[in-house]
Amino acid sequence: MLDEEIADLRNRMVDEQIAGRGIHDLAVIAAMREVPRHAFVPEHLRNDAYEDAPLPIGAGQTISQPYIVALMLEAARVGPADRLLEVGSGSGYATAVASRISARVHAIERVDSLCEEARERLVALGYADRVELRCGDGSTGWPEAAPFDAIVVSAGAPAAPEALKSQLAEGGRLVLPVGADAHSQRLVCITRRDATTFTEEALCAVRFVPLIGAQAWPDRAACERQGD
């Protein structure tokens, strides 16, 4: 496709799927008009990049549908002076969007191959200036970089990891999918009111890949290897 056609598809995506479905945060809307989602999906899926759907990116992982990316960032109330932790960077799309609306993004991706590809992609596209990305267990957060004004988790956990809650600044927001089913959850926003008090708001039903880690779902493949 020509650049003009891609820009038209991206603007239509924002008009119909983002603003048209009730997202009002102007910074989020502007960032999603800027960041080329087609550059964050496999080559053979680029014609589908601006559809309102998640897409596979390899290693059993997906890139979230555009509306959900926008909804999570809006719910996290990310501001231009905020420091944000993103858990589950995947191909780096939401990382790039978040980098346009915050002061600094610390992003974690568990799958090494996806992490390295996302790092190269963010550098090549010019989105690495406000991003620090590392490979590892996102369920335990990034304690040495805490506290964070906002934390966004792009994978479903059985409950909000205590490590992530503890790394919120007072007034900070944690947006993540939680649920007893590893493949079906509800999206919630948890706000830290003070050192020991948290409040929770339910947003909507969602379906994310499971968050694997010490404070989330176990790595079944690793467990099976240990049992051999």
| Catalytic residue, candidates 64, 89, 91, 154 | 64
* SS3 of the chain: helix, strand, coil, percent, to 5: 40, 30, 35
Long-range CB contacts for residues 180-185, cutoff 8 Å, separation at least 24: 182/156, 182/158, 182/210, 182/217, 183/156, 183/207, 183/208, 183/209, 183/210, 184/156, 185/156, 185/157
Q: Phi and psi for 205 in degrees, rounded to 5?
A: -80, 140
Helices (H), the chain: 3-13, 26-34, 66-75, 93-99, 112-125, 162-166, 220-226
Active site residue 64: yes
Asked whether the beta carbons of 151 and 173 are under 8 A apart, the reply is yes
> So which residues are the catalytic ones?
64
